[in-house]
Amino acid sequence: MSELRDFVADLLERRGAAVEALGPDRLEVLTPAPLRQQLGWPELTHLGFGAQQAAGTVAIALEGDWLDRFGALLADEGRWSERELRLPAPAPPPSDPERLLDRVLDLPNATWRLQGMSATWTRCLMLMFRLTALSDEKREQLIWLGFNLGTGAVINEILAQLRPALAQVDDWHMPDTATRRAAGPGWSSAALTARLRPVLEREARDVMEPFLRTMRRRLERDRDRVHAYHNDLREASLNRLLALDRASGDRAAADRRRETLRVEAIEREYRAKLDDLRRNYALRVTVEWVQALEIYVPVQRLEVLIRRRKGERIIPLDWHPLARMIERPLCEAGAGLDRVRLVCDDRLHLTDPAGHAPCTSCGKLFCRACFPNSCPRCHQTR
């Protein structure tokens, strides 16, 4: 239990409390006023971390809501925080949900039907990354990505709409138990990694594109300049050689040899200059995670029945009243940043078109959500 005790002591001290250890599983805490209110403690408090506690001691354990309360203390300065966004006034559900779905659902090989709609809460994860591109120049940029953990959808645009609202909330609060229960659980880190990678790669490429374009232009300009310079030198030498071909005698032979060596030297220097350019313009891109924010938001959840051949499956899609936007359907393989989804025969996965592309080696069409690592026929890794 001492890890928990140390964590709590450290956290409280950082927030202005005076903490003294009274043994391996007890702390005496002198708590300043604002912190007293947040934690509901008297000024002088004894905290206990063991199974047996003396009377008047606040028992702290991994169970219960203490970790949530301590998390709230960390939230505004930590790299991870959570808050709940409430509607300023009750919002009516969308009057024509089918029309909304029509805008975001494009299923070339399946049909869909709206089964129902209900108000609930969902949990959205906003992640901020720092992208650094280092070449002959350095470029840094922040990228925000978002997932609706309740539906699996990528909701970058919706979260972009919510960000100003988030900045304005000053009396933000922790989601209560009912909200958490309605919003459902989060994702395992494996599930998050699998979903995050394609979206982050795509986003990083998009963000880097203007930088890459200007870099490519500079590289082409430098390469043309290097080429023109060495080409002129080489042409002049070759012309001299041509003239020497018509002459005879020892003198001419020596000149020819010298000129031939000169041509070789020019070619060598040209290749070396190209290598230099390659090194100067080599691009190193690093992406690092900066911050995560989990927000609990009210939504209207649309249950959509997807039919493909004999199979059917219900997928949830949320309409976000705070942004007045509907999200695109989840994409179980690929970034899925546009609205086209192909549905697989076996498990009715939704993927973007690339997620059903033919195998590059044997040509078999297969679902990248069913077979994320290799082709089921030829086992070629993709």
Considering the complex, what minimum distance in angstroms separates the CB of residue 334 from Zn ion?
Answer: 12
Phi-psi region of 66 (alpha: psi -120 to 50; beta: other; left: phi over 0): alpha
Q: Which two tokens stand for residue 336?
A: 């899925």
Considering the complex, what minimum distance in angstroms separates the CB of residue 341 from Zn ion?
Answer: 12
Q: How far apart are CA 364 and CA 234, in angstroms?
A: 51
Considering the complex, what minimum distance in angstroms separates the CB of residue 188 from Zn ion?
Answer: 20
Nearer to Zn ion, 163 or 347 (CB): 347
Q: How far apart are CA 96 and CA 91, in angstroms?
A: 14
Longest CA–CA span in the chain (Å) reads 115
Phi-psi region of 40 (alpha: psi -120 to 50; beta: other; left: phi over 0): left
On whether the CB atoms of residues 358 and 369 are closer than 8 A, the answer is no
Nearer to Zn ion, 180 or 368 (CB): 368
User: First-to-last CA distance in the chain?
Assistant: 47
Q: How far apart are CA 91 and CA 118, in angstroms?
A: 13
Considering the complex, what minimum distance in angstroms separates the CB of residue 355 from Zn ion?
Answer: 8
92-94-95 Cα angle (round to 5): 100
Q: How far apart are CA 112 and CA 312, in angstroms?
A: 9
Considering the complex, what minimum distance in angstroms separates the CB of residue 186 from Zn ion?
Answer: 24
Considering the complex, what minimum distance in angstroms separates the CB of residue 354 from Zn ion?
Answer: 14
On whether the CB atoms of residues 113 and 304 are closer than 8 A, the answer is yes
Considering the complex, what minimum distance in angstroms separates the CB of residue 352 from Zn ion?
Answer: 13
Nearer to Zn ion, 166 or 194 (CB): 194
Nearer to Zn ion, 72 or 315 (CB): 315
- Nearest CA to 163 out of 300, 327, 323 is that of 323
Report the interface residues with Zn ion, using CB under 5 A: 344, 347, 349, 359, 361-362, 364, 367, 369-370, 375, 377-378, 380
On whether the CB atoms of residues 84 and 182 are closer than 8 A, the answer is no
Residue 36 is which amino acid? R
Considering the complex, what minimum distance in angstroms separates the CB of residue 336 from Zn ion?
Answer: 14
Nearer to Zn ion, 17 or 331 (CB): 331
The helix (H) or strand (E) run that includes residue 319 is: strand 311-320
Q: Is the CA virtual torsion 201, 160, 184, 327 positive or negative?
A: negative
The helix (H) or strand (E) run that includes residue 49 is: none
Considering the complex, what minimum distance in angstroms separates the CB of residue 374 from Zn ion?
Answer: 8
300: helix, strand or coil: strand
- Nearest CA to 305 out of 291, 292, 315 is that of 315
